[in-house]
Structures are given as C-alpha cells and as structure tokens.
Amino acid sequence: MTPNKCLLGPRNALILPILLLLAALCNAQNQKLSPEKRALIENAVSKFMASTHVPGVSVAVVENGEYEWSAGFGFADLENNVPATEHTLIRLASVSKSLTAVGALELFERGQLDLDAPIQKYCPAFPKKQWPVTTREVLGHLAGVRHYKTGPADLEINNTKHFDNPIQGGLDFFKNEPLLTEPGTHFQYSTMGYTLLGCAMEGAAAKTYVDFMLQNVFAPAGMEHTLVDDRFAIIPYRTRFYRKTKSGDVQNSEFLDSSYKIPGGGWLSTAGDIARFEVAILNDKLIKRSTRDLMWTPMKPPDDSAKGYAMGWHTSTDDGVFLTGHTGGQQGTNTNFEVAPEKRAGVVVLSNMEEISTNNLSKEIMRILLGTAAKDDSKH
C-alpha cells in the first residue's frame, strides 16, 4: 500500500488522530487568537480534512484589523512526510485576481490607468475588436473575453509550456479571437481577461506586471513569501500538489505550468501572507477607502449575470454581514479568502488538493470569529 493510501485512504480510521497530532505540532504565528476560538477552528479544520481527505491545509485569521493567527495542518508532501506549516506555499489559483485588481486600482488612483479608456491605450498587443473594451470591463469580467478553451486535450487548462514573457505568451492564446459578447452586457468569467489586465498594467506602469506587484502590492503589505509559481525555480516550502480519484485515493495532480496566466492564477503564497493582504486592505495601506469601495461595488450588467461580482472580488452577505473575497481552484489546489470589512475580520483557507470546496470551511471559521451560530452551508 502506498504512503498516501495509508495516510489518506477513505477507509483509514487513523486519519483523525494523525491530523490532530500534526495540528498540535505545527507552529502558529501569534497567540492573540483566544484559546476558545482557536480550539473551535482547529476542530472545524480537522472535520474538513477527515471528510475531504485533503493532504494539507493552511489557515489564517484576522480580527480587529490585525493578523492574529495562522497554522498548517496535515502534509505539504506525502512522499517525504513533510508536514504543512504556516510557511507552506500553496497555489492561490484565482485568488490571484483579487491581488491583481488591487494593483490595477493603485494605478488608477495614481492617474496612470484610465479605467474607461480603450484597453489598447495601455496594451497595444491586443488587437481592436468589434466593440471597444475597457479596463473596468475586464476587471469585472464584462469584456466579452473568453475563459479557457476546452477540448479533448484541454491544452490551455493543462498547459505545460513555459513562457519567459508571460503576459505576451498568455495573450497569444486568445488575442486574435473575436469577443464573445458586447462588453458591458454579460458576465463572462475569464482568467484570460486577467492576462489582458496584466498587459494594461504593464503599459500603464512602464514595468513588468510581476515587478509592479512585488514592489507596489506585496512589499507594502508585508507579503514577503508571495511569489510566482515558477516550475523551474527552487522554491523552499512549496507544497506538492494533489488530487483525489473517484475511489477516494490521493494522487499527485496533473502537471501545470501557469506562466501564461500569472495575473489571474499564477501566484504562490502562504495563508499568513494573504492575511497580511487582508490587513493592508482593511487599514487602507494599499488603496484609499473610496477606491476600495469602488473595487467592492458589484457590477450590474443588464442581464444581472454578475451575481455580486465586483472588480476582482466576489461580494455576498451572510447573517446580514457583508463579505468579500475570492475562491480559487486549479491543479493541486483549492483556496478561499474572505473579509468582513465592517467587522474588521478576515479568514484565509489554502489547501493542496483540487476539486474540493474550501468555501464552507472559510465561512464556518468566519462565523467562529464573529460569534454567530453555525448554519448548514448547503444553503449558501
């Protein structure tokens, strides 16, 4: 029997004691979180891991606008018995979009990026289409740019080619295709669109997208561990990536080179770094409050297809509390972060297995922080 089956097979009765022991051994960043809340969160994580058989999870929380606690649970590497910790680097997947949106709105705030100008003003590599396209529309997935092209090989979703010029490499997948719909009329979720946004940011900032984000978003927020998921680089603490078979066994995930979609799904980070990002947003360290409010204002296409999506952030309410954040999923990962601005609270849940839902766990932890009664998440 392989190690991953021994540890995570669906019929293995030892999984809960093992995970609880690992959770107890993993270090936490701070001790500000009350012992009662921490115990409830650890219990929620343990139940989540037992039900999903996910190898590893990292969690962080923000209270009172401050980063209070983070910890790792389970394994970052099953084959080598490496435990997950607060230092484990996990693929953010589409959580990357919220980071990119903040960078774009920094440029807007500085007067370097006009949200309503034709996007070719900043990204001439994107040919003019049958309708004008603006950065505002791209931010809200209203630009008519397609998502992944699927087919028998799924060569975009499962891309294996590495691009040294990532923005141009990503644009080449779709730049010569017509728009699917007239911009502003319909919500069409598009990771490809965020590559186009990255191109516009490069033109506005006169530097590469990656350098701009590192210098103007991550550094000011204290996100020292957030970096590009470069498959060639030696990156300490990067997790291995997993998936679950139909029979419930855990395997290594399919190979992915995400260099073609960094703005929309190509960053690695820790739960603690995303919590620091939440703190920076809550305390107006990256963009002004008025800009933040603009970013969190839901888009409203005529057909009401946006369903609460704003500029790179989902919005919703739970128990009457306004929540905003993003989910993410790709090969070997599923992620979620949420902020409750009025309560100055935040939650981060990062996992190293695909096609599970961290959303319910994130909501449960948020309710623990806010002291609200747990609900059946199947209704959300």
Report DSSP state, residue 118: B
Cα three-residue angle 161-162-166, rounded to 5 degrees: 120
The total number of residues written for the chain in this structure: 380
Residue 197's CB: how many other CB atoms inside 10 A?
31
Q: Minimal CA–CA distance to 140: which of 92, 173, 185? A: 185
What are the phi and psi torsion angles at 40 (to 5°)?
Answer: -65, -40
Q: Domains of the chain (ranges plus CATH)? A: 1-53 (no CATH), 90-336+344-357 (3.40.710.10)
The pLDDT, as a whole number, for residue 32 is 87
Instruction: Write the pLDDT tens digit of every residue in 144-162.
Output: 999 998 876 678 999 999 9
What was the pLDDT predicted at 223?
98
CA 293/CA 186 separation, integer angstroms? 22
Residue the block writes with tokens 């606008």: 65
What integer pLDDT is reported at residue 24 of this predicted model?
Answer: 42
Alpha helices (runs of H) in 214-254, residue ranges in sequence order: 219-221
What pLDDT does 150 receive? 82
CB 334 within 8 A of CB 52: no
Q: Which residues of the chain have pLDDT under 70?
A: 1-31, 152-153, 373-380
For 46-66, the pLDDT digits (tens) are 999 999 999 999 999 999 999
Phi, psi of 355 (to 5 degrees): 60, 35
CA–CA dist 60, 28 (Å, integer): 9
Indicate the angle between helix axes 96-109 and 191-205, nearest 10 degrees: 30
- Could you give the CA distance from residue 9 to residue 249 in angstroms, rounded to a whole number? 5
What is residue 113's predicted lDDT score, i.e. its pLDDT?
98
